[in-house]
Chain A
Amino acid sequence: MFWHSYKYSLKALLKNRMMVFWTVAFPFILALFFNMAFARLHDFDVFEPFDIAVVNDEEYKKDEIFDTAFKTLGEGDERLFNIELSDMEHAEELLNDGKIDGYVYAKGDKKEIKIKENGTNQTVLKMAVEQVSQSAKMIDDIALSEIAKNAGQMVDISAIYQNAVKIVSETEPNIKDESHVMNMVSVEFFSLIAMACMQGAMLSCEMMNRCMPNITNRGKRVAVAPTRKGVIVSSNLLAGYTLLFISLIALIFFTRYILGVEYGDNIPLICLLAALGSLTATMLGMFLSVILKTRESAKNVIVVLVTMVGSLFAGMFGGMKLFFDELLPFVNKISPVGLITDGYYSLYYYEDLTRFWINAGTLVLISAILFVLSIKSLRRQRYDSI
C-alpha cells in the first residue's frame, strides 16, 4: 500500500512541470548563472598582467638600478605587467584611450605615476614602483654609510656596492604565512544549495495538500479509502522528499565536479546536511499545508519569503552575510537557509566539526518543532467543514 501510493505520488510529482521546474531546474539554471558571473572571481589566483607604459626619456635612463630592476617585473611568465616604452606624449595618449592603466615617469630622482582612476591594477603598479625604487635607494644608503664609516681609508667602492646589493637582494622577510586561503565564491553556491533545499517546502506542501480532505478533492477521496492516513501522508511526503534530496545531491555534485565549486572532502557529511535540510523543508511544507488556512498562493509567498529573504541573509547576493550577522545576528541562527549555508561553510572552512553539528542539530530541532506543531492537526480525522 505504502509503495503503491509512493510510486504514484512520485510519478505524478515528476509530471508536474511547474514543481519540477522550481525545485530541480531553477537551482541548476541559477548555478550556471552564478558560475558565469563569478568565474573570474573564482580563479582569483590567476593574475592577469596588465598594460602600462614607461616614459623612457633621458631623466629616466639615469637611474640604472631602477630601470633594470623594474624591467624584470615586465618579463617572463610571472610578469606583473606588460611594459611599453614610449615618450611622454604617447603615454598620455595611451592613458586617455584606456589602452594602459597608467604610466611611470621620472621627475628629478623620484619616480611618479599617472593614472586615470583608482583600481587594483593601479595599486599594484604603485607598489611595484615603490618597492623597486626603495630597493635602489636602500642599496645606495647602505653603501654610502659603509663608505662613510670607512672615511679617510681607501675603499673598494664597487665591492661595497656589490655587498650592499647582496644585502638588499638576499634579505627575505621572515614571514610565516598561515593563511587558510578559501574561496569566498563557494558561499554563494552554499546559499544556492540552501535556497534550492528550502524551496522544496513547496513540494511537500503540495504533496500534503493532496492528502487533506479539507483542502483538495483528492484528499477527500483518500480519506474515504480504507488506508491509514499515516501511510498516505508519509508515502506522499517521502515522494516529495525523494525528489528533493536526489535533486539536491545532483546539484551538489554538478556544482562540485562540473563547475568546480569547493565543498571540502567530507562527502558523507555533505550528503547528511542535504538530507537534514530536505527534512526541514519537508516539515515546513507539511506545517504550512496543515496549519495555514490561507489560500495556496499565500503559502507560496511564505515559502518564497523563507527562501529568498533567508538567502539574502545567508549571503547569496554578494556575500553580505557578515553585514546581516552584525545587523540581525539571530536570523541566520534560526533561518534554515542560513543554517544550511553555514553548515556547508563550516564543513569547508573549519577543521573542527563542532559548528557543523550545531547547525545540523538546529535543523533537526526545527524539523521536530514543525512536526510536533503539525501533528495535532494531522491526526484530526473529521473536519468541521470541508
Chain B
Amino acid sequence: MKNVIEVKHLTKSYKNNKAVDDLSFNVQEGEILGLLGPNGSGKSTTMNCILSLLNFQDGKIKIFGKEMAPDAYDIKSKIGVVFQDVAVFDELTVYGNIDYFCGLYIDDKKMRERYVDDALKLVGLEDNKSQYPKQLSGGLLRRLNIACGIAHKPSLIFLDEPTVAVDPQSRNNILEGIKKLRDDGATIVYTTHYMEEVEILCDRVIILDHGKIIASGTNDELKALAKIEEKVTVEVADLAPNQLSGFEKIKNVSEVEYDNGVLKISYSKGKNNLIDMIEYLKTNKINYKKIFAERPTLNDVFLELTGKDLRD
C-alpha cells in the first residue's frame, strides 16, 4: 500500500494551548481514514495544517510523496476539501456554486459541465440545480457544500464533520456518496465525532484527544483494546443480593452492575455468552423482561482509554 499522506511530528499550538501535539500518522491509498475525537481534540486543526492553511511550529507533511506547501498547486489540484461550515455563495445558484468551485480546478468547459452534473447526481441535488442556497433545507445545503468540494473528482478528499446537524435522510445520502467516492478510487480522510459513522464507513480509525493519538487501527483492532468483548443487558424487576453475586461466578464474566431494575454484565472473552446467561436465569427462576447482547463500541474504547465519554 502506498502512503498518500505522511504526517511526521506535527505540532501546532495556540499561545499556551497545544492543539496538536507531536502527531505522526500515514494515510494509505484507497482507504477511508476516520479521525475520531471529541470537540476540541484537534481534528480540524490537524486537517488545516495538512492543507497548509495554518502555520505550525514543528513537523513535516508529505502528500503524494511531495512536501505540502501553500503554492504546491500540483498537489492541491488533486485534493478536495469539504469544510465543517457551509462555504458557498448565497448569490449563486446550486449549479453556479458547484461550477464556480469546480472551475478553480478545471479549465475545460465541457469537462466541467460533466463533472458538475456528476457531483449533482452524487449528492442528489439534480432537482435543486437552479435554486439558491437560501432556499435549501439544512441537509440539502450540506450536500451542496460537499458537492462544491468534490466536483473536480479529486483523488484525495478531506471531509470535516460533513454530517453535523443533518437529517437522517441526508446523512444516509452523504455516507453513501462517500462510499461511492472511495469505490471510485479516492482516498478519504474523514473527521467526525460520531463513532457510528466511523464504524460504518472507515477502514481505519485514529482516535484523537487533546491533540494526541490515543489509539489507531481498524475497527476490530480498536475494539480489542477494550477489556470487554460482549455486554449483556437484562431487565430484572426484582433481584435478591445473593442472586446478584451468583452472576459473577458465570464463565467469562468480568463485571456485574445492577441499578434500578437493569442488570449489566460485561464479559471479558467470548462471543456467545447469551445462552449461558439465559440458562442461568432459568435455573434460578429469575423473571426478566428484556434481554440483549451487544458488542463493545468505539465509545467503550474511548471510555476505556480516557475515562470519559466521546460525546462530552
Contact = CB atoms under 8 A, between A and B. Distances in A.
**A, B co-complexed:** yes
A5 interface: yes
Contacts of B76: 224-226
Contact of B87 (A16, A221, A381): A221
Contacts, number: 95
A165 B186 CA distance: 108
Which of A216, A228, A381, A382 has the most chain B CB atoms closer than 10 A to its own CB?
A: A382
Interface stretch (A6-14, A60-68, A94-102, A172-180): A6-14
B104 A216 contact: no
Given A224-B81, A226-B74, A228-B73, A384 B55 contact: yes
Contact of A5 (B86, B90, B103): B103
A238 interface: no
Interface string A188-204: 00000000000000000
A232 B73 CA distance: 14
Interface in B77-126: 77, 79, 81, 83, 85-92, 96, 99-101, 103-105, 107
Main secondary structure of the interface of B (DSSP, over half): loop
A118 interface: no
Contact of A218 (B71, B79, B88): B88
A21 B297 CA distance: 55
B35 interface: no
- Counting contact residues on chain A (CB < 8 A from B), the size range is 20 to 34
A13 B53 CA distance: 26
B79 to A, nearest CB: 6
23 contacts: A1-B104, A4-B103, A4-B107, A12-B92, A14-B91, A15-B91, A16-B91, A213-B53, A216-B87, A217-B83, A220-B83, A220-B87, A221-B81, A221-B101, A224-B51, A226-B73, A226-B75, A226-B105, A381-B52, A382-B52, A383-B54, A384-B14, A386-B54
Interface of B: 14, 48, 51-55, 69-71, 73-77, 79, 81, 83, 85-92, 96, 99-101, 103-105, 107, 148-149
Given A8-B103, A15-B92, A220-B87, 20 more contacts: A1-B103, A4-B104, A5-B100, A5-B104, A8-B92, A8-B100, A11-B92, A11-B96, A218-B88, A221-B83, A221-B87, A225-B101, A226-B104, A227-B105, A228-B73, A381-B52, A381-B70, A381-B71, A382-B53, A385-B54
Interface of A: 1, 4-5, 8, 11-16, 213, 216-218, 220-229, 232, 381-386
